[in-house]
Amino acid sequence: MITPSATELLAEIADSLTAMLPEQRWFAGKGRPVRGVSPVRATDLAGADPRLVHAVIEVDQGEQHRDRYQLLLGVRSDLPDNLGHAWVSACGDQAVYQAIYDPDLTAVLLELMAQGKDLDGLRFLAEPGATLDPKQRSRPVGAEQSNTSLVYGQACILKLFRKITAGRSPDLELHRALAAVGCQYIATPLGGIEGELDSTPVTYGMLTKYLRNAAEGWAMATASMRDLLAESLFTEGASGPGGPIDPAEAGGDFASEAHRLGQAVASVHADLATALGSSPAPPGYLDALVDGMHGRLDSVLRQVPELAPHEDALRAAFDAVRDLEGPVLVQRIHGDLHLGQVLRSVTGWVLIDFEGEPMAPLDARTAPASPLRDVAGMLRSFDYAANYAPLGDVDPEQRAAVTLAWTTRNQDAFCDGYAQAAPDPRKQTVLLRAFELDKAVYEVNYEYHNRPPWLPIPLGAITRLTTAHP
C-alpha cells in the first residue's frame, strides 16, 4: 500500500473528523452543524509506524467565516487498547487517532523544541537558557476546555491552542515580556511552537514550567466560603441575635491569601508596564470606552428582560466616566482575570493564561487598557465564589448576610494588597465601578444563555453596586 501524504490522509478521514469535532470539549462551534472539514496544512513530524501528523483544518458550518483548528494525529498499524478511546478513523489498514494521548508521540514535540527544528515552516523553539528533557513522558490535563495541555513529568506543561487565530498569541508574548524583566508571578516560559498561515504569524503552542502541587484560586476561595457558610448556618447557635460568624474568625478565612493575590496582580501590572510601556490614554479613549459599555448593554437588554429595571442606573454609571478629569493610564493587561486564572504555588501566587477575553478579537485583546479592568474582573470573581455554591434549604437572608460579609472582606483584602504595589484602585471609584458593572452585564448575558440558575448572581451585584453609588 502506498503511504498517503499528510494532506491526503486528512482528506481521506474528513468525514470522520466532521463527526468527531462536535464531541470535543475544545470545539467552539457546538450547537451548529458541521458540514465538512478541509485541510489547511499538514506536516509529518516523525515516524512511519507510529506516525505523528500535525494538522490545521478548516471547518465549514455554513457561515462565511470558517474557524480553523489544530490537530495532532497519530497513525498506527496496531492501536493499543489503552489508546482505543482516542480512535478517529481508519486509513487503509492503519488506525488514525488523537495523538495527545500517546506519550510516545508527544515526546516528539519536546524533542523538536529542544533541537530548535523548523519543519515545513513549523518552528519548534526553546526559550534562551531553557533546558528540555525529551525523555519526559506526557499526560493530558483533563480540566481544560478551549485548549489542550500536556504535562511532561513534573517539569513542564505544553499548552496547545486548539482554535487557531491569526496573529501571535498574547499568552506567549506576555509571558516572554514578563520573564525578560524578571517577573516572579508567572510560570517561566520554556518554549513555543510557531508558524505562519496565509502569510500571517500564528502560535500553535506554549511550553512553561510546571507548577507542582499548585492549587487553583477558585477552589481555594470557594472552599473558604463553604467553611464560613457551614460555621454560620449549620453550627448550633450561630444564628439568632448574634448574627452570622465574622469571616475573620472562621477557620478557612481567605483574606490573607486575597491580600497576597492583590500584591501579585499589582506587581504583574507594574512589570508589564516596565516591559511594554504605559502611557496616558489618548484623546477620546474614555468616550470610546463608555460607548462600548453602552453597546454591550444595548445588546444584552434586547435578550435579557430581567436586566431592564437596572438600565437607567447602569447608563448613569457608565456616563459618569466621561466626566473624569486627569490622565487615565493604559497599558497591556491580563484581560480576563478571575480566580480560575491564578494558581497558589508553594512560593506564592502565579497568574496564568494571558490570552485575554476568549470571544474578543485579537486587536481588542492586545490593545492597551486600564489595569482597573483586571481588578474589576477579580472583584467580580470574589462575588461569584461567595454566591455560587448550592446549600439546600437555608434562610436566604442569613445566607445573603454571610456571603456579603465574605465578599466584602476579601475584595477589601485584595485591594489592600494591590495598593501596596500600585495606586489603590478604590481611589478611582467611578472608573472601577463602571468596569465592575460592565463585567456584570457580560455575566448576565452569559448566565441567561448558559446557566440560568446563576443569573441572580450578576443581577444581585448590579443592584448592590448601583444602590451603594446611585
**Tens digits of residue pLDDT in 412-453:** 999 999 999 999 999 999 999 999 999 999 999 999 998 999
237 with 188, same domain: the answer is no
Model confidence over 90-116: pLDDT tens digits?
A: 999 999 999 999 999 999 999 999 999
Grade residue 390 by pLDDT with cuts at 50, 70 and 90.
low
| Collapsed DSSP state (helix, strand, coil) of residue 160 | strand
Write down the mean pLDDT value for the chain: 92
Residue 1 domain-assigned (yes or no): no
245 with 313, same domain: the answer is yes
338 with 439, same domain: the answer is yes
Final residue in a domain of this structure, among 71, 99, 127: 99
Evaluate whether 203 touches 172 at the Cβ level (below 8 Å). Answer: yes
Q: Give the pLDDT of residue 134.
A: 86
232 with 85, same domain: the answer is no
Residue 390 domain-assigned (yes or no): yes
318 with 371, same domain: the answer is yes
Percent of the chain with pLDDT over 90: 81
Provide the β-strand partners of residue 209: 156
Q: Give one word for 25, left, alpha or beta, with left for phi > 0 and alpha for psi -120 to 50.
A: alpha
171 with 29, same domain: the answer is no
131 with 79, same domain: the answer is no
223 with 350, same domain: the answer is yes
Final residue in a domain of this structure, among 209, 232, 254: 209
Mean pLDDT over 65-83 rounds to 95
Position 469 pLDDT exceeds 80:
no
Question: How many domains are there within the chain?
Answer: 3
Model confidence over 25-51: pLDDT tens digits?
A: 899 888 899 999 999 999 999 988 999
Grid cell 463585567 — which residue?
439
* Measured distance CA(263)–CA(375) in Å, rounded: 11
Residue 120 domain-assigned (yes or no): yes
Range from 8-17, 29-38, 136-145, 275-284 carrying the lowest mean pLDDT: 136-145
Final residue in a domain of this structure, among 65, 99, 133: 99
The domain of 404 spans 215-468
200 with 232, same domain: the answer is no
Position 85 pLDDT exceeds 70:
yes
Q: Give the pLDDT of residue 244.
A: 62
287 with 331, same domain: the answer is yes
Q: Which long-range contacts (CB under 8 A, 24 or more apart) does 130-137 make?
A: 130/189, 130/190, 130/191, 132/156, 132/190, 132/191, 132/207, 134/107, 134/110, 135/107, 136/107, 136/110, 137/103, 137/107
Q: Indicate the pTM of the whole model.
A: 0.92
Residue 249 domain-assigned (yes or no): yes
Model confidence over 236-285: pLDDT tens digits?
A: 444 444 456 777 776 679 999 999 999 999 999 999 999 999 999 999 99
117 with 200, same domain: the answer is yes
According to DSSP, the β-strands at 122-126 and 147-152 are unpaired
Cell of 135: 525523555
Residue 348 domain-assigned (yes or no): yes
411 with 306, same domain: the answer is yes
How far is the CA of 98 from the CAs of 54, 74, 150, in angstroms? Answer: 11, 6, 13
Q: Give the pLDDT of residue 358.
A: 78
Mean pLDDT over 336-344 rounds to 96
Grade residue 143 by pLDDT with cuts at 50, 70 and 90.
low
